Structure 1
Amino acid sequence: MSKLKNVLMGSAAALMMAGIASLPAQAVPTVNQEEAAQIRELESKGWATPSDLAARSLLVAAADLGERIVAVGQFGHVVISDDRGETWRQASQVPTQALLTGVYFVDDKTGYAVGHDAVIIKTEDGGETWELKYSDPEAEMPLFSVMFADARNGIAVGAFSTALSTTDGGETWNLQSVIPDPPPPLEGLEYEPHLNGLFRGPSGSLFIAAETGFIFRSTDNGANWEPIKTPYFGSFWGGITLNDGSILIYGMRGNVWRSDDGGTTWAQVDTGSRKSFGGATLLEDGTVVLAGLNGGVAYSTDNGRSFDVVDRPDRKGYSAVVNGPDGHVIIFGEPGAVKHPDNAEAFRSGS
């Protein structure tokens, strides 16, 4: 079995792969001869092709640009909404058909997406068109997350401790070591843990959510990383920094952990749920919303000290969430982009 097959269960994005087999085949809309020729040309180049179901099939990650939301997923799909998720359209030029698993925007125009085949693509027009900047299919090292410290310096991370960094705005990428060599004598630290999710911490720090209860912290814009062991021994898929400076990390089996000292020490938050969480967002009123597998959505109104978890009847897997139209968030996963109430009371009342 290849390394790629071994890693498919290593992140929130990868867990969603289990649902692909049950999804409908990619639909090709009714087109005229000129449009059909264009689709054939895109397919021959290995580019993402137009699909009426692009916003209703597997979407793994999303970026909130304010007025615009950009989401990415299977078949190289990139979809865009300019009305907070009410309607969606597909990006016109995406030079890959790989599963895209992470997306990050430096500003409202410049953004990056990463995925399987170690693909890194870049946009300079808000997600409408993209250019291929890096790809290494033979390495079988899918990338899961990407983040930039500033306009020029960024990092992408993924399976088997893969990390790629850039210092020229994503034009070139080079392998970077995140795991110290030799690894420090920390119980449970694997030599090549999957690096699942990048997120920004307080005071300019950066974090990577990883496996076996580890996170990695950088205080120098990603040049060097310090492994930190939490009391948990499972996988973390992501994290978020709250308005009061505290940090939440989340992952397998309902695990949410909170730090009040910049990530040095961690305490478990009792979510009352065994559902794994893969994505988070912070609303304007300070509410934290987590989205996860089996239709689980969790809300916190006390800076992550407690959560109210609801179960969507669709029982689908979700791996990302952003603020949506009034009274709603948009969650992303197996069914694509889905509008969902932004508080537990509204969900339970059916509003």
Structure 2
Amino acid sequence: MKTRRFHLPTNFARSALLNCGVAWLFCLALVNPQQLFAASTSGTATANAAGDLFKEAPDQPYPSTQPVIGLAAAGSDLIGVGLRGLIIKSEDDGTTWQQISSPVDTDLVDVYFSDSKNGWAVGHDSVLLQTEDGGSSWSVNLDGKKLKTLLENHYSSAPSLDDFERENMLAEIDFATSTSANPEVIPTPFLNVHIDENGEGYVLGAFGMLLYTDDNGQSWVPWIERTDNERRMHLYGIASADDGSMYISGEQGLLMRLDRELKRFVEVNIPYPGTLFGVSVHGDVILAYGLRGNLFVSKDHAGSWSHIENGQKGGLIDAIRLDENYSLIVSQRGEMTRLNHETLEVDPVDAAFNGAVNSMVLVSSKNTLVAALFNGTTTLDSKQFQ
């Protein structure tokens, strides 16, 4: 596989002063569909010029009816996150929910747990929250102010880059800051996070943002230049395989795989130029999915891809592994199809949702699917899909 060492193209460097700031503003309109509403309502950190960046999330009289953007299982419990810092928890497979105190009032768009105790939530204003008690309490790990300092310190002396490359990275940081109402804050939205049980992982987001940790978030190293993503496409999805492989998906057909020897995400060729909102690895099957129902499957470690006609028209936002043989493909419109891993045939699933679907999770009991909607959550019996 051909790989590229990071080098900012000359024509890009010459035009950056004219284009980069505009691109940052324009690209805010290109956020993942289930996160688009959140993008339009966020901005707390950039609005406060002094003092603390955030207030605590407001109390909601009826938290179970609030817009939920992301869902994750924390052992036998469920955690949901949403607008204005909303965090909710269910201990009965999504039947009832309670609001959890949140240290931020900016929009949260995704949540991930490496085990029943350790979890992460990401959102706008470069927010990364951390929990070590199964989601009962949360603290701020990163925010836009910490991110700016982290990036500036790293790229002022990054040993893997030459002087020209370091200067260009610092110029990108300056342009990012110029779009913020607060010169001390980079407002880049974080869109996804994946940290494994050993404390190694990544947080990723808009404009090619990528950070790496190997100590469960105690420290972070920017990996922006360690990707085949010179155009700084938004990064949406991340998934790992049992063999240690790691994949990231993004805008304009961007799909990358981690090369552990190079310590770099290298581009994977996929026959699709549109945005890929997610990537999932189910055994030997890799699924990449995105706009207008486009679904691609590889069974040879991303060497070749099959385009799966599944009849869906909405953007695909989730691929839930039902068992060893089947996955449930979910669109933002609430459409669902069941994919056979062996034959790659699909069957439509008859299930109606009252509103767009933002996320979905299969609870540990294996009998209940919980969907995140604009008006809260809803549950389905997963047996009807198996």
Q: CA deviation at 1:327?
A: 4.5
Contact 1:204 1:219 in 2 (8 A): no
Alignment of 1:218-229 (within 5 A): 218-220=258-260, 223-229=263-269
Deviation string, structure 1 residues 161-210 (Cα, Å, up to 9, x no partner): 01122232112333222554xx5xxxxx6611000111113411111111
Aligned Cα root-mean-square deviation (Å): 2.9
> Aligned pair 1:56/2:103, yes or no?
no
Structure 1 residue matching 2:93: 3-state secondary structure: coil
SS in 1 for 2:211: strand
Question: What aligned pairs does 1:86-101 form with structure 2 within 5 A after superposition?
Answer: 86-91=95-100, 93-101=101-109
CA gap of 1:222–1:60, structure 2 versus 1, over 3 A, is farther
Question: Structure 1 residues 323 and 150 mapped into 2: Cα distance closer, same or farther (>3 Å)?
Answer: closer
Q: Aligned-pair distance for 1:152?
A: 2.5
| Pair 82,287 (structure 1): closer, same or farther in 2 beyond 3 Å | farther
Classify 1:66/1:299 alpha carbon distance in 2 versus 1 (closer, same or farther; 3 Å).
Answer: farther
Match of 2:79 among 49, 54, 70: 70
How far did residue 2 of structure 1 move?
8.2
Q: How far apart in 2 are the matches of 1:174 and 1:163?
A: 9
Question: Secondary structure in 2 aligned to 1:6?
Answer: helix
| Aligned CA distance change for structure 1 residues 134 and 214 (closer, same or farther; 3 Å) | same
1:119 matches 2:159: no
The answer on whether the counterparts of 1:199 and 1:208 sit within 8 Å (CA) in structure 2 is yes
| 2:273 aligned with 1:233 | yes
AA paired with 2:380? H
Match of 2:316 in 1: 277
- From 71, 86, 89, the equivalent of 1:80 is 89
Q: CA-to-partner distance for each residue in 1:136-181, whole Å, 9 max, x for gaps? A: 063221011000144332210000101122232112333222554x
Q: How does 1:44-193 map to 2 (within 5 A)?
A: 46-91=55-100, 93-136=101-144, 138-177=185-224, 180=227, 191-193=231-233
Structure-1 residue corresponding to 2:154: none
Matches of 1:215 and 1:6, distance apart in 2 = 19
**8 Å contact 2:246–2:257 — kept in the other structure?**
yes
Query: The residue matched to 2:61 in structure 1 has which SS?
Result: coil
| Contact 2:205–2:235, Cα closer than 8 Å, also in 1 | yes
Picking from 35, 43, 52, the partner of 1:14 is 35
Could you tell me how far apart the structure 2 residues matched to 1:227 and 1:11 are? 21
> Within 1, Cα distance between the matches of 2:313 and 2:199?
40
How many residues end up aligned between the 2 structures? 316
SS at match of 1:294: coil
Q: Which residue identity is paired with 1:50?
A: D
SS in 2 for 1:85: coil
2:93–2:368: 8 Å Cα contact kept in structure 1?
Answer: no
Q: Spell out, residue by residue over 1:101-154, the C-alpha distance to the aligned partner (whole angstroms, 9 max, x if none).
A: 121112211111111001011101100100101100632210110001443322
* C-alpha distance after superposition, 1:58-109 (max 9, x if no partner): 2122112331111111111111111111111111x31111111121112211
Question: Distance in 2 between the 1:329 and 1:221 partners?
Answer: 38
Distance 2:288 2:120 in 1: 23
Change in CA separation of 1:208 and 1:251 when aligned onto 2, cut-off 3 Å? same
| 1:229 maps to amino acid | N
Q: 1:171 to 1:239 in 2, by over 3 A?
A: same
Moved more, 93-102 or 215-224: 215-224
Partner of 2:285: 246
* 1:253, distance to aligned residue in structure 2 (A): 0.3
Percent identity over the alignment is 25
Q: Distance in 2 between matches of 1:237 and 1:304?
A: 24
> What do the CA deviations read for 1:315-341 (whole angstroms, capped 9, x no partner)?
622131111467531111322211134
Q: Structure 1's 276 and 222: CA in aligned 2 closer, same or farther, altered over 3 A?
A: farther
8 Å CA contact 1:294–1:315 kept in 2: the answer is no
SS of the aligned residue for 2:330 comes to strand
Distance 1:116 1:17, change over 3 A: closer
CA distance in 2, matches of 1:221, 1:148: 19
* Greater helix share, structure number: 2
Q: Report the structure number with the largest CA radius of gyration.
A: 2
Paired position in structure 1 for 2:234: 194
Alignment TM-score, normalising by the size of structure 2: 0.73
Q: Which ranges of structure 2 fall in alignment gaps of 5 or more residues?
A: 1-21, 43-51, 146-184
**Cα separation, 1, equivalents of 2:124 and 2:262:** 22
